[in-house]
Amino acid sequence: MPETDPVSVLDSSAAADNDADPDHLRDLGVRATADGGTIRVWSDSATAIELCVFAVKDPDWIADSVQLTRDDHGVWSGFSPSLLPGTRYALRASGPSGPNHAFDPRLALIDPYSRGLARTSSGRWRSYVQDDAFDWGGVQKPATPLDHTVIYEAHAKGLTKANPAIPEHLRGTYAGIAHPSTIEYLQGLGVTAIELLPIHQFVSEQRLISQGLRNYWGYNTLNFFTPHTQYASRDAQLGGPGAVLREVKGMVKLLHEAGIEVILDVVFNHTAEEGPAGPTTSLRGLDNANYYRQMSDGDYIDVTGCGNTVDFSTPAAQRLVLDSLRYWANDVQIDGFRFDLAPALGRDDHARYDPQHPLLTAIVTDPELAGVKMISEPWDLGMGGWQVGNFPAGWSEWNDGYRDRMRDFWLTDVASEQAHGSPAQGIGGMARRLAGSSHVFSHDRGPLASINFVTAHDGFTLADLTAYNQKHNLGNGENNRDGTDNNHSYNFGVEGPTVDASVVDARRLAMRNLLGTLLLSAGVPMITAGDEFGRTQRGNNNAYCHDSELTWLPWTRDGWQGELLEVSRTLLRLRRENPALRPVRFSVIGESTPSASEMEWYYADGAMMSGEQWDSPHARTLQYLAASTPEHEELNRILLVMHGRGTPVTVTLPRHAGINSYTLLWDSADDEAGSRGSRSLPGDTRDVAGHSMQLFRAD
């Protein structure tokens, strides 16, 4: 890739009339005025592009057409008095033939910058000139600090579709998310941000349609600026794309009023045009050679597993992403983004991942995106695709090492102990991740670079981790081939549902341990919707194609689920109340680092841990003492006791300068919380149940 200044390529603030550094990619899409609108479209390969404006009453009838003119930088532009808010339009592009091109002037293409989409009765898509006006009423973004952030990953439809407290016509919609019952639930739980699976307009893949299935998760984007129409209420859908956008903005406004941030899961790495034989709807028809990674013979270089990969070595593709982010962050007031298969955005012209890629750098340095949370899924399917810990400063990353090690400690190690008499691993790997994964993320980035999670939308739910050794995905139509086989799960002796009381108790304890570890670890925790009360998908670990009660959040729950929900609320409250659990920076031995947590590690007998026993499978009990180094909050100290063997243990609470007592805040083995609040002195002994954990405040 030729060296390019990312600011000059990507910064839309560059003055249009500055001949020394003009912004050639400025104002792409439609800019409407009272007298009509100007459209600007980028294509370096096209030889002609035509704007087609459709009749108001017939979206298949071209009422006006304009031949666009090209400048020296591949930008085609034109004016039409018909480009007014509410107008539907499309583009037709002509160009050279050859293996890398896909021009077909008969096709009506979606403007990549279209801020609305309308569908005809025949199923064709039309771009839509959007009216962006909305009264925010002075409501501001919550701007929750990252160390106070707790993310709740949810599906925009599945979150509320089954909620009887919401009027039926609003269930499963943006308005349903904004309903008082949903907001009250999220506030009562104690999360600070809702992360929505993709809400960019998407369609189902051709393979799924042929099987009679649909893409439920939404990772098949049609357009990067348009909200998914089917998640809007029926009234908004009937009101058109403008009403849909207003419902989305209304949702964001009400969540912000409640102090809840909105993070969007965005899919820029590939599009719904699939492989070369897939549907041509937008980018492929405008400039296949420059928007998609290809070999010289036209075969796609696919590092996503979805048929195509957008080529982010080109400035126009980089700018498309940046402009989309700016639009959602500023016009729609979105607080953050989680980037699906993010290494694909950082691959150069040879498809090699570069952590200093201009797009990755621009996303976290662009002044128009200041304060917006940026989260990567730091892996894709290409060569060198696993890049955990290797994103630039300013990014947070999904930490799959955290996920796997915590599952192992509370699940597969338990299975090993029960089968062979000894766990497979010691406590060191778990402890390193509990303390913020400093072996993965650089000192400069700190623990908040780690998005800690035990489950996510793809994979087993928390309850299913404890109930299934194998995936059960036959309902997906792929003979159980899809979905990972590497689940790090343990069914505690019975596959699936059981009435065996000992198995049920062990599973519920494991769920409490996993939730406790997640919410008491350094880093940013992410909860998958429903895990807080033990939702099941009946062993399906890849339920992407199920839009049904299998994937919708249940709002009628059993008694034990209510108890687990109270545990989740308690843990989230304890996280809020104890800054020592939420360090911003890694501590340095011998130094006082503001907003870090100074950590010390002790054996069960109260003695300081030594390196030789750190990773021994026989030393599975530790006491983790963390003291905050105040910068914005009061001094706080906690003691976390972790015990990873099946037999109970007696621990001696450590003696430490300045600590006079320990107050029990939570015990994972005590599901009724009967012993909370009990006080002990340094040097006192306490009984800890097998496979459990206890949290103390150290005063």
Q: Are 307 and 278 in contact (CB under 8 A)?
A: yes
Residue 62 within any structural domain of the chain: yes
Q: How far is CA 297 from CA 98, 275, 382, 386, in A?
A: 9, 14, 19, 28
Residue 506 within any structural domain of the chain: no
The gap between the terminal CA atoms of the chain, to the nearest Å, is: 57
- pLDDT of 406-449, one tens digit each? 999 999 999 999 999 999 899 999 999 999 999 999 999 999 99
Residue 122 CA neighbour count, 13 Å, CB half: 6
Residue 7 in this model has a pLDDT that exceeds 70: no
| Backbone torsion region of residue 691, taken as left when φ is above 0, otherwise alpha when ψ lies between -120 and 50, otherwise beta | left
Residue 157 within any structural domain of the chain: no
Predicted local confidence at residue 591, as pLDDT: 84
Residue 527 within any structural domain of the chain: no
- pLDDT of 183-208, one tens digit each? 999 999 999 999 999 999 999 999 99
Q: What is the CATH number of the domain that holds 19?
A: 2.60.40.10
Residue 15 in this model has a pLDDT that exceeds 50: no
- pLDDT of 478-508, one tens digit each? 999 999 999 999 999 999 999 999 999 999 9
- pLDDT of 56-85, one tens digit each? 989 899 999 999 999 999 999 999 999 999
Q: Which of 340, 408, 417, 547 is catalytic?
A: 340
Predicted local confidence at residue 22, as pLDDT: 83
Closest CA to 627 of 660, 601, 599, 666: 599
| Backbone torsion region of residue 371, taken as left when φ is above 0, otherwise alpha when ψ lies between -120 and 50, otherwise beta | left
Q: Are 219 and 340 in contact (CB under 8 A)?
A: yes
Residue 677 within any structural domain of the chain: yes
Bridge-partner residues for 550, per DSSP?
none
Closest CA to 189 of 666, 450, 519, 517: 519
Domain that holds residue 71: 6-128
Predicted local confidence at residue 556, as pLDDT: 94
| Residue 566 annotated in active site | no
| Residue 377 annotated in active site | yes
Domain boundary among 76, 111, 128: 128
pTM of the entire predicted model:
0.96
Closest CA to 82 of 25, 30, 134, 29: 30
Domain boundary among 104, 128, 152: 128
Model confidence at 615, in pLDDT bands (50, 70, 90)?
confident
Q: What is the CATH number of the domain that holds 622?
A: 2.60.40.1180
Domain boundary among 75, 95, 128: 128
Predicted local confidence at residue 614, as pLDDT: 81
Residue 2 in this model has a pLDDT that exceeds 60: no
Predicted local confidence at residue 21, as pLDDT: 52
Q: Are 193 and 583 in contact (CB under 8 A)?
A: no
What is the distance between the alpha carbons of residues 694 and 690, in angstroms, rounded to a whole number? Answer: 11
Instruction: At 43, list the tokens.
Output: 């294509």
Q: Which of 111, 287, 323, 377 is catalytic?
A: 377
Residue 179 within any structural domain of the chain: no
What is the distance between the alpha carbons of residues 593 and 600, in angstroms, rounded to a whole number? Answer: 15
Q: What angle, rounded to 10 degrees, do the helices at 315-326 and 358-365 form?
A: 20
Helix (H) or strand (E) segment spanning residue 597: strand 597-602
- pLDDT of 661-697, one tens digit each? 999 999 999 866 556 789 999 999 999 999 999 999 9
Residue 15 within any structural domain of the chain: yes
Predicted local confidence at residue 675, as pLDDT: 60
CA dihedral 225, 228, 229, 232 (to 10 degrees): -120
Poorest-pLDDT segment among 91-95, 120-124, 178-182, 225-229: 120-124
Predicted local confidence at residue 247, as pLDDT: 98
Model confidence at 8, in pLDDT bands (50, 70, 90)?
very low
**Total structural domains in the chain?**
2
Cβ neighbours of 257 (radius 10 Å):
14
Residue 247 within any structural domain of the chain: no
